[in-house]
Amino acid sequence: MGVSLPDRPSFCAVQHAFLFADPAAHSRSPEMHRAAFAHAGISGEYTARRVPPAELPAAVVGLRQPGVLGANLSLPHKTAALSLLDDLTPAARAIGAVNTVIHRGGRLTGDNTDAPGLLAALADVDAPTGGLSVVLGAGGAARAAVYALVSAGHTVMIVNRTHARAQALAAELGGRAAWPETVPWSAVTLLVNASSAGLDAPDESPLSPFVPLEARAVVYDMVYRPAETRLMREARAAGLRAENGLGMLAHQARLAFRAWTGADVPVGVFLGALAGGRMPQPEGGA
Ligand SMILES: NC(=O)c1ccc[n+]([C@@H]2O[C@H](COP(=O)([O-])OP(=O)(O)OC[C@H]3O[C@@H](n4cnc5c(N)ncnc54)[C@H](OP(=O)(O)O)[C@@H]3O)[C@@H](O)[C@H]2O)c1
C-alpha cells in the first residue's frame, strides 16, 4: 500500500511532508512542522502516518511524487530505509540511520539530523566542547551522538548496559567503550544519556548511583518525558547543569525543515510548538 496523497496537480502550491513511524499517533512533529510552515509563510502540510515495517518500501516510493518535500522516519524505520533511497549523506551513511528523507525531482536522499541536532542543542546551553564526554547507550540515538561528538572533537567514552554493543559502536564510529568503573568521572565535562533508561520511568537512571562529574559539566538527557528525569534530578542536586532532550528534538526538526524547504526557521518556533500543548511523546527523535 502506497502513501495516499491528496489528489492535487503537480503545480499545486501546497507541499507535503510526512512522518513514517509505527506507532505514529502521538508524534509531536506535526505541531512543530505546521508551526514552521506558518512562520515561513509556506503553504505546506505535515502528516504523521503509521507505517508498519512491511509497508515502508511502498510508502517511500510515494515520496517521489511531485509536491512531496520528504519525510521524517522514526522507530522502527531509521535503519530499514537505508536501502530504499537513492543517496545518503555522509552522516546518514556513517551513523547507519536515516531520520530525514529529502525529495528533489524524483530522487530521495537520506540524512540524519539527530547528530547535528544534538550539537546545536548542546551549543544552546553552552555545553563544554573538546573535553571528555561520556555517551550512555549504544542504540540508534547513541550512534548519532557518538558520530556528532567525535566529529566535533570530543574525546568520547561509551558506556552501555550490553558492553559488547558499546565495543562494536566504538570500533565503527570512534570513541572508546568503557565500564562505569573505568570512567574517570571527575574529569567528565559532558554526559549524554542516549539510552532509553528513564523514559517514562521517573525513578530509573542509566547511571545509578550518580557519580560527581567535573564542576562545569553538563548532563544532557535525550529523554524528555518526564521533563526532569532522575539522572537530571541527581545531576542538579550535585550542582551540575542538566537538560532534557527537547532542544535536540526541536533542532533535528528545524534542520529537516530547512533541508526540505530552504527556510531557516528559528528553533524557538519549534520549541514554542512543543511547549504549546501536552508533553511530547517519545518518538526516537522525529
Ligand atoms: N531528544 C531527541 O531528539 C531524541 C532523538 C533520538 C532518540 N531519543 C531518545 O533516545 C533514547 C534511545 O533511543 P534509541 O533509538 O537509541 O533506542 P534503541 O536503539 O532501542 O537503544 C536503546 C539503548 O538504551 C539501552 N537501554 C534500554 N533500557 C535501559 C536500561 N533500563 N538501563 C540501561 N540502558 C538501557 C539499550 O541497552 P542494550 O544495548 O543493553 O539493550 C540501548 O543501548 C529513547 O529514549 C529516545 O526517545 C531522543
Residue range 114-127: mean pLDDT, rounded: 98
Digit-coded pLDDT (tens) for 18-41: 999 999 998 999 999 999 999 999
Look at residue 253 and give its three-state secondary structure.
helix
Same domain, 212 and 258: no
* Centroid of chain to Cα 227: 16
- Cβ of 142 less than 6 Å from ligand 1: yes
* CB distance 146 to ligand 1 below 6 Å: no
- Per-residue model confidence (pLDDT) at position 8: 40
Residue nearest to atom 7 of ligand 1 (CA): 284
Residue 282 lies in a domain: no
Mean local confidence (pLDDT), 254-277: 95
For ligand 1, the distance from its centroid to the CA atom of residue 200, given in whole angstroms, is: 12
Answer yes or no: are the C-beta atoms of 207 and 157 closer than 8 Å.
Answer: no
Question: Which residue, 180, 223, 217, is CA-closest to 202?
Answer: 223
135 and 105 fall within a common domain: no
Q: So what's the pLDDT on residue 26?
A: 87
State the residue range of the domain holding 100: 15-112+252-275
Residue keyed to cell 501546497: 14
166 found inside a domain: yes
Q: Quick check: CB of 197 below 6 Å from ligand 1?
A: yes
| Distance separating alpha carbons of residues 232 and 237, to the nearest angstrom | 8
pLDDT value at 229 more than 90:
yes
How many domains are there within the chain?
2
Mean of per-residue pLDDT scores for the chain:
93
Q: How far is the centre of ligand 1, averaged over its atoms, from the C-alpha of 206 (Å)?
A: 10
Find the mean pLDDT for residues 98-121.
Answer: 98
The verdict on residue 189 lying in a domain is: yes
Query: What confidence score (pLDDT) does residue 279 get?
Result: 44
Identify the residue whose C-alpha is closest to ligand 1 atom 25.
Answer: 195
Measured in angstroms, how far is the CA atom of residue 196 from the centroid of ligand 1? 3
Report the candidate in 150, 155, 153 with the shortest Cα–Cα distance to residue 132: 155
Told to judge if 78 belongs to the known catalytic residues of this protein, a careful annotator would answer yes
Question: Residue 283 has what pLDDT?
Answer: 56
Grid cell of 133 as nine digits: 564526554
C-alpha–C-alpha distance, residues 166 and 189, integer Å = 20
The residue whose CA has the least distance to atom 4 of ligand 1 is 285
Confidence of residue 5 (pLDDT cuts 50, 70, 90): very low
- Residue 208 pLDDT more than 90? yes
Q: How far apart (Å, rounded) are the C-alpha atoms in residues 165 and 250?
A: 28
Q: What percent of the chain has pLDDT over 70?
A: 92
Q: Is the CB of residue 70 below 6 angstroms from any atom belonging to ligand 1?
A: no
Select from 207, 281, 210 the least CA-distant residue to 246.
281
Tell whether 284 is covered by a domain. Answer: no
User: Do 128 and 238 fall within a single domain?
Assistant: yes
Query: Does any ligand 1 atom lie closer than 6 A to the CB of residue 191?
Result: no
Cβ proximity of 71 and 19 under 8 Å: yes
User: Residue 133 C-alpha to ligand 1 middle, in angstroms?
Assistant: 17
Residue 106 lies in a domain: yes
Residues near 95 by Cβ (< 8 Å), separated by ≥ 6? Answer: 112, 114, 115, 140, 143, 144, 147, 173
Catalytic residue among 16, 33, 77, 78: 78
Sign of CA pseudo-dihedral 48, 28, 206, 213: positive
pLDDT digits (tens, 9 = 90+) for 45-103: 999 999 999 999 999 999 999 999 999 999 999 999 999 999 999 999 999 999 999 99
**Confidence band (pLDDT; 50, 70, 90) for 278?**
very low
pLDDT tens for 137-159 read: 999 999 999 999 999 999 999 99
| Contact in structure between 96 and 74 (CB atoms under 8 Å) | no
Asked whether residue 136 falls in the same domain as residue 76, the answer is: no
DSSP states along 116-146: HHHHHHHHHTT---SSEEEEE--SHHHHHHH
Q: 195, 265, 256, 271: which is closest to 20 by C-alpha?
A: 256
CATH code, domain carrying 269: 3.40.50.10860
At residue 10, what is the residue type? Answer: S
Query: Which of 53-57, 129-133, 206-210, 234-238 has the lowest average pLDDT?
Result: 129-133
132 in a structural domain: yes
Instruction: Estimate the share of the chain in helix, then strand, then coil, as percent rounded to the nearest 5.
Output: 35, 20, 45
On whether both 140 and 231 belong to a single domain, the answer is yes
Q: Which atom of ligand 1 is nearest to the CA of 143?
A: 16
